[in-house]
Structure formats: C-alpha cells, structure tokens
Structure 1
Amino acid sequence: MRNLFFLLFIFIFLGCKEDTLPKPKAYLSLKYPKKTYQKLQLERPYSFDVLKNTTTINKPNNWLTIRYPNLNASLDITYRPVNNNIKELLTEAEKLVFKHAVKAEQIIPKDYTNSPKRVFGSIYEITGNAASHIQFHATDSTNNFLKGSLYFYAKPNYDSILPAVAYIKKDVFRLMESLKWKNN
C-alpha cells in the first residue's frame, strides 16, 4: 500500500510539469545609421561622396581605404593613371573579380555609364562565401582608372553579412554616381 501511495505521489508530482515548447525562430535585428554623405576630404585626381560615419584612410599613390568601423569592413580604393594602357587595366580589374569564382556562387556584373561626367565602369556583386562581395571599377578611358573592393574582416559567411553588403552596396552606387575626375 505504501508503494502504491509512493507511485501515485510520483505520478502526480511529475505530471504537473508544463509542456516544453520549442523556442520560436529568432531574426537578426541590425540597425544601420541613416545615410548622410559628404565630399571626399582628401585631395585626389578624383572626388566622390563618402558616408559620414566612415573613416577615410589616406594611402600613397592616390589610393585610399574607406573603413566601416561598426561593420568591420572596408572599401579599398586604388587609382592608376591611364597611359595608353586602358585594356591592360580593365583586364587586370576583371581578373581580380573572377579570382573569387572559386568560392562565389554567382558573379553579377552591372555596367555603369555617365557620359556627361565621362565615368564608365562596372560594379560586380559576388554572392557566396567569397573574400570580397562587391568590386567595381571606373574610368574616363583616357586619363584615370579607379578600382574598388569591399572586404569584411571576418571569416566569410554570406548569409550573415548579406544585410551589411546591401547597406554598403548603396554607398558604392553613390560613389559611382558622384564620381568626378579633376582633370576633365
């Protein structure tokens, strides 16, 4: 009889627990600051708009790095004068883009043309776990050539950094739209 009461007590005690429910899916909530732009403050053979909450780092040979400290990312900008070598510069830029084909799922090119400002170029979106997710180049085809690459200082995980890539992609489009050559 004692065993029966003991078993009944255990069943009642264990039977009073609430059902365990799976946790609902969580969504990453990233908040990005509102975009405000300013003209590049460094003296270069080119100018364009940069996001105010970035840090611009001066490099030799008219190169520069635009750092996104909150996103742990940077846009690395290289400049080369055109000396009857536009084909070589374009080939080199495309080689650097397609170096990422090993890890990339897809490379999506978008041509850019602004004839009145003499800005001609391409923007490449690279999907997948590649080292760089946006690359671009711009030229006036006679004097100036500009190339840029987006890098994150973390192991590439495309799904995780996709919102940050989309945020910075708008800045790259703004850079191309506002790009002006000083010697034209």
Structure 2
Amino acid sequence: MKKILLLISLSILIFSCNQSEPVPKPSTFLRTDFPEHSYREYLSPQSFRFRLSDLFMPKHFEQAKNNYSVQEIDLGPLNGTLFLYYLRIPSKDSLPEIINFANDKVDEHKIMADKIDFEQILEPSKKVYGTFFELKGNVATNFQFYLTDSSQHFLRGEVLLNCRPNYDSLRPTLQYLKADLKELVNTFEWN
C-alpha cells in the first residue's frame, strides 16, 4: 500500500511540474523600414537654399514681420515637423544676443536630456557658420541648429515629433532623421 501511495504521489508531483505558469512578454514595437536617402534642391521663400529629403514636404510659410518669418516642413512618414525660423539681423551688434537666444532654446531641454552633443559648422567659402545640436534622451526636440552669415541672415531650426518622447524606441527614426538634417546643414547656402 505504501508503494502505491508513493507511486501516486510521485506521478502527481511529476505531472504538476510540467505545467508552466504563463509569463507576460515585454511590449514590443514595430520596426520601421525607411527608404534610401534621396534629396532635391529646395529654394526657400526666405534667402537660402539647401538639399531637402524627398520624404519631406514644405507646408506652411508665414511672414510674421518684415525681418522675421517661419517655415514649416512636414517630415512625412517620420511624423514630425521641422520649424525654420528666419531672422534678418537688424545690426551686427545684435548677433551675439540672437545666438544666445538660440542657445537658450537648447538649454530649456537640459533637464530632460541625458546628453547634448554639438557640432560647429564653419563654411567660410559659403559664409555659413553655426552649431548643430543633438539632444539625447526623452526630450521634446532631439535636434536643433542655427546658421548665420554673421552679418545679415540668421536661421534657427528645430524638429518636433508628433509622439511621446521615448528615446529608445525613437532611436532608429532619429538616426535616419539626423542623416537628412546633416545633409540640409552641409548643403545650406545663402542666396
């Protein structure tokens, strides 16, 4: 009788170990496949030109004042907007103040940014000078830049994506977007 009881106990133990509790899987996100980068020449209603990604579409231009305007560029499947703020520099003495304003706009995101990388832009042959900022982390804007000829023209750009800032999930999109923005900055010319 003890043998039968032991055999039944062992068989219950063995069969009960085979059943596994369901383990919840972590949430996943779909991988986004992007096309090869391709560009076209874009001539702005303001005083500049650059190569713009074929995915992007200029959508709104607003001449706010005589020396100030805003250009919105839809980022297409990247689901965001590139804002270009153009300012005709009133006097050469005001340039440091304008550059400080652009830097302050980047500094507004220091609280949420894990890291801010920047790259100086110096193209004396084209009279293009500025800084390209990449803000890493869960920030509202991952890319900002400003360009100037240091005498008449100043342009500040910032990218806003239409989603919650989740840097890890957005990293592939941001890498793709960075290549397009670098092309814009590297081919930028004043008219």
Change (3 A) 1:154 1:25: closer
Separation in structure 2 between the aligned mates of residue 28 and residue 133 of structure 1, nearest angstrom: 21
The offset of 1:43, in angstroms, is 2.9
Which residue is 1:76 aligned to? 83
Aligned to 1:53: 55
| Aligned-partner Cα distance in 2 for 1:89–1:55 | 28
Counterpart in 2 of 1:39? 41
Give the deviation of 1:22 after TM superposition. Answer: 9.2
Q: Describe the shift of the 1:127–1:22 C-alpha distance in structure 2 as closer, same or farther (beyond 3 A).
A: same
Distance 1:15 1:91, change over 3 A: closer
1:29 to partner: Cα distance: 2.6
Matched, 1:147 2:156: yes
Following TM superposition, the consecutive aligned residue runs of length 4 or more in structure 1 with deviations greater than 3 angstroms are 6-28
Offset of residue 19 of structure 1? 11
Pairing of 1:1-184 with structure 2 (within 5 A): 28-61=30-63, 62-84=69-91, 85-182=94-191
1:7 to 1:161, Cα distance in 2 relative to 1, 3 A: same
Deviation at 1:69, TM superposition (A): 2.5
Report sequence identity in percent: 27
Scaled by the length of structure 2, what TM-score is found?
0.81
Q: Specify every segment of 5 or more residues in structure 2 that has no aligned partner in the other structure, as ranges.
A: 1-7, 64-68
Equivalent pair of 2:29/2:169 in contact (CA under 8 Å): no
Contact 1:42–1:58 (CA under 8 A) maintained in structure 2: no
Deviations 1:68-113 (A, max 9, x none): 2212112111100112211111010000000000111111111111
Looking at structure 2, the residues matched to 65 and 56 of structure 1 have their Cα atoms a distance apart, in angstroms, of 6
- If the length of structure 1 is used for normalisation, what is the TM-score? 0.84
